[in-house]
Chain A
């Protein structure tokens, strides 16, 4: 086959990227679905209740490229908006939505209004509507964008937001499953068709079959059949199956209809009409009509029903029952819910589609209610222009709705009673890898708290589609998944072409058969709907696949033959996972070495698509993979093989691709690395210097790893690396290296190892009245106070960093408590004319504990949707951090550790050549973790450094370690990578060899300086008078229950008193000896005594007693003189 498979992957990813699924989905939404939504019969027209002659008709809709929001007037000049400006200005990267409408009004000619603005649509970066699409790398850089940026996210008010891929159970497919509660088999279909969403299932109660539906209560199966127009019992059984075993199961249900004396369809409809839960429309009181309407619209909604012809639905229902009965007899017929062919991924476009339709309907109903009011008036002066003006006005709701949903991640769709949180997430920009990981992340709908193993398990059908290593541990384990390197998510295919082709290929309409003939041949389903039957299914499937390989039908259409269920499934729906594979014919792969030459001459995209069109490469989805026989490597190809993997490494995700030799590691270690790769600090893009993120980390000297992988290069991770090639000695040194701690060479740190710049942003907003810029009530920034005799030195010192304009100087060093923007806020008095305006100081005070330097200051005049003008000052602080004790580092093998000791270079061990480690790692890290790959990385890295070449540790491939060892030997090194080291302290040779060489180490974002905390005195909680909690509030360290137990067990009772009382909330109260209650002074007037003593107790104890009193419980304190206490306890 081809030796340059790596090139195939690299070129595929070079044009596809890792975020194509998001972009495709968004493009499909903008180009196809928007038009469909607007033109759907339920949305297209707006009528008016008070004026029946009024009609507003939508003709078309389009979305423009993002432009500045500066004006809502369509005639004003608009300049294109680029994403980087949005990030800086806190703007939304959005384009205008325009509709063309035709308005019919009483006494007027129908008028067409063009380009009516109804809102702004957030535009996904990299989509066709994005201003960056089609630009060259150099141009992209000109617009302040990183050419390697993955794109595929939105920018809402300056924040980068990703709509995560959502995993759902497939719609419109029959799934037979075991019900968790009843342990009975259930056959379920979730129908979803444009407007309606419904669920129908067949359940078994006391050996009788019932139809369970969202629109009516459980109805006996036979009655439903009769309502669907199949009145003859024999015919019903024929629809389900005439095998004796099936008929036997049906016998019990058979009696239902005769018991209820239902003979005609009308009887059955009336019976079901009584079962309807929510009344439909409310106008027709006829139960039969309601039932008929429900059956037509809601029940099995995806099965078409023309003119109340229920026959197709009856056939479908028959199939459902048949599947259920077969499953009861033979467990092979039970569908696996976790089977990945039964899952669909919902991308940004699908989710936006739901949201937009809801908002659009909202706009229509608003307009309609306004019209009702306006046109209902006697002297109506409403013109078509006014209507479009109103649309513009209320179009803001669409803009706001879209923005709010993406910003907060709250998806509320009233139509489907959907209320979901956390749909979107802020794009994690800690490292480049974290951003890539986020765009390939998938979330499952299963609840986190459920302690189920099924949906979390890694199943065989996920092979090649989902990364087996990249999932978090803990509650999200297995529910959050990551796409494998080459996985693609399909978009909906226009079904008509496939439908026509399969009809022309010998599929006969099912209605042409007698029901008794249904179960002899294979039934052909198209997107879950029965199309017909075919007598020679294998031939049909083969031919259809040939058509697909020739490009006659969409390359992503899946053709799956299920011999067990005697079904051919053809799917062109959206959200299926597919991946490219090389076709094999007669034991020979179709893609050969010569084909790779094309890449030299042509653009990667055209070459790859030519491979697909010429039947060399094919996309298979999970279902069709079941029909394929896929060879892992070229050596596995036999005559029966149908497909060949492009490369084995593609089963892993881009994040796991960072690990060299992952196939030699214990799997859990790869999983840990996947989490840590997302926390490692490096460089996040080529535009970091002009970005203004809330928090941005940047390694000062990032290095590209010596041991690379092919997948790293395919996604540019080697250009934006996160870490250093540290010289590591695996040995024990001092005892500050226990429990994974690392020893660092001080000279390496001096020279820049692990040095990181941390940038933090702070925002100061000044509210300025847009109409009156000179208003006295506007917030303003004042110059710093000047030194006078009265001012105290301390007071002036706070203002040292300020320039004359009241904003901090670039390059100034800020300490805790310094002021960096000297803002003043006028207090609006009750009577502005007479009273003087009080001006309050509302400066921005620097709150970080350690000094930062001012890096940049951005002053932005922003209009927030044209309503209020805000002057925003963004200050970016910088701090350079050198590694110190306790900072966290990790290799690429899930081996994290903290710095335990920093050692001078002269004390470090060295070898005869003068080599000296940057970092010493304790060998105890190896045996239990079994990270063999780390040993291999070191060996390959050592040779790579000697040769001056990068080495490859690609998954399931990479360098041969034996050869590497031999090469090392040739260069005068030990073939196992060991070296003789000399102790830097004594100068003696070490008694053993030391495994040493370069390993790529990542600095993780957890740094001591962000976590260090101590306090002696400080703020107290108001209510309990105990120390507050948390580092941010300068809180105390809690002695919790378990810590208290330790002190108790040890017997340190005085320490306990000191911690829990004296240092916490001591309080003195007077207590009356007689009544045992608290008194305000030393006299108890109730008991008329002065036997009132002062005692000390925790304030919260006093609080408890008082709260108890408030609840009518009297806690009585019994006082005992302290000298008698011993005696008292003994009694």
Chain B
């Protein structure tokens, strides 16, 4: 059974291992429940913008209206400014200020040529709102072949086909629909712990040591200067137990002890482009904090009620 260890968890530590706009890798020292909560919030509760309503004015493309709308919805929108927007349901119903809740894009294309025209996210034009880096706009996509900006494909138009739609991007979070999820990957793993039974390592021949080293597909082991088997890259271990299998084949089943290290987790967060990876983590923490605050507020309110 899982138990919360207050003493051990009094200190939470985050150490950043790798950081770029798209990817953030960090180690987290602290309790598992908190680690998992961060992960879950990143997937489901960090608010971003996504196209939610689509007014179809004309659609003679090969895709049906619903199909087109679904594809539009899944286009990631750069949402640095999502914080300044309100949720649809928060806005005052009487004085609807579109600017406060949404961004509107228009897509109006007609193909007059014989060659098919590919409609991409580049063809989406914002109707109002800011411009520049902070603007809410489709994430830019670059070709993996030549590095050119290509845009995310939406549909293709044949000759004389056209699309004319108005897309309303709203603020939301991943629990509502996957299109509001800011991450591609948000995962963590427990740090591995590999220990040798030193009473047995001595009896290993060089060949056996080498074969244990080579058994690992991730090259976790290495040999040191003394031709001793050492754990070189523990972070690579994927718990495949190949080394244990190898040791078993040498009739030394207890040679290597494999464990999950408690209280240390390595997070990998890859952004889908709406937010910077580090921002996602930060915002997740803010959401989490807010939730905890709400609970404590509720608790103290309840306590007050009881006292009265």
A residues near B (Cβ < 8 Å) are: 689, 700, 746-748, 750-752, 755, 757, 811, 853, 855, 878, 880, 904-906, 910-914, 969-974, 980, 982, 984, 986-989
Contacts and interface: CB of A to CB of B under 8 A. Distances in A.
Contacts of A746: 178
B67 A880 contact: yes
Contacts of B177: 750
Given A757-B64, A988-B32, A980 B239 contact: yes
For the residues of B in contact with A, the DSSP-based class is mixed
29 contacts: A700-B67, A700-B70, A747-B181, A750-B177, A751-B74, A752-B70, A755-B70, A906-B40, A906-B44, A913-B185, A913-B268, A914-B185, A914-B187, A914-B268, A969-B217, A970-B217, A972-B238, A972-B240, A980-B239, A982-B187, A982-B188, A982-B189, A986-B2, A987-B35, A987-B36, A987-B188, A988-B2, A988-B32, A989-B190
A72 to B, nearest CB: 38
A625 to B, nearest CB: 49
Q: Which one of A755, A757, A913, A972 has the greatest number of beta carbons of chain B within 10 Å?
A: A972
A980 B189 CA distance: 10
Closest 10 CB pairs of A and B: A987-B36, A914-B185, A750-B178, A912-B189, A747-B178, A914-B187, A880-B66, A906-B40, A906-B43, A906-B44
Q: Which of A750, A751, A980 has the most CB of B within 10 A?
A: A750
B228 to A, nearest CB: 25
B66 A853 contact: yes
Contacts of B129: none
A220 B110 CA distance: 88
Contact of A912 (B32, B43, B238): B238
B39 A972 contact: no
B186 A914 contact: yes
Nearest to B179: A750
A906 to B, nearest CB: 4
B111 to A, nearest CB: 16
B43 A987 contact: no
Nearest to B63: A700
Given A912-B189, A972-B218, 20 more contacts: A747-B174, A748-B178, A750-B178, A751-B178, A855-B64, A880-B67, A880-B70, A905-B181, A910-B187, A913-B185, A913-B268, A914-B184, A970-B217, A972-B238, A973-B240, A980-B238, A982-B189, A987-B33, A987-B35, A988-B32
Given A914-B184, A914-B270, A986 B67 contact: no
Interface string B235-277: 0001110100000000000000000100000001010000000
Contacts of B181: 747, 905
B44 A904 contact: yes
A980 B39 CA distance: 18
A912 B217 contact: no
Contact of A904 (B36, B175, B185, B187): B175
A216 to B, nearest CB: 70
B194 interface: no
Interface string B146-179: 0000000000000000000000000000110111
Contact of A878 (B36, B64, B70, B178): B64
Contacts of A906: 39-40, 43-44, 174-175
A750 B173 CA distance: 13
Nearest to B40: A906
Nearest to A974: B240
B98 interface: no
Interface in B19-70: 32-33, 35-36, 39-40, 43-44, 56, 59, 62, 64-67, 70
Contacts, number: 95
A746 to B, nearest CB: 7
Nearest to A855: B64
Contacts of A811: 56, 59, 65
Contacts of A982: 187-189
B277 to A, nearest CB: 13
A331 B109 CA distance: 81
Given A757-B67, A989-B260, A689 B32 contact: no
A756 B184 CA distance: 25
Contacts of A984: 36, 40
A751 B44 CA distance: 15
Contacts of B33: 986-987
A814 B255 CA distance: 70
A971 B218 CA distance: 8
B238 A905 contact: no
Interface in B183-200: 184-190
Nearest to B260: A989
A987 B267 CA distance: 12
Nearest to B189: A912
B4 to A, nearest CB: 12
Contacts of A750: 177-179
Contacts of A911: 187
Nearest to A914: B185
A984 B40 CA distance: 8
Nearest to B190: A989
Contacts of B70: 700, 752, 755, 880
Nearest to A881: B66
Nearest to B270: A914
A912 B265 CA distance: 10
A974 B215 CA distance: 12
A322 B60 CA distance: 76
A913 B187 contact: yes
Nearest to B269: A914
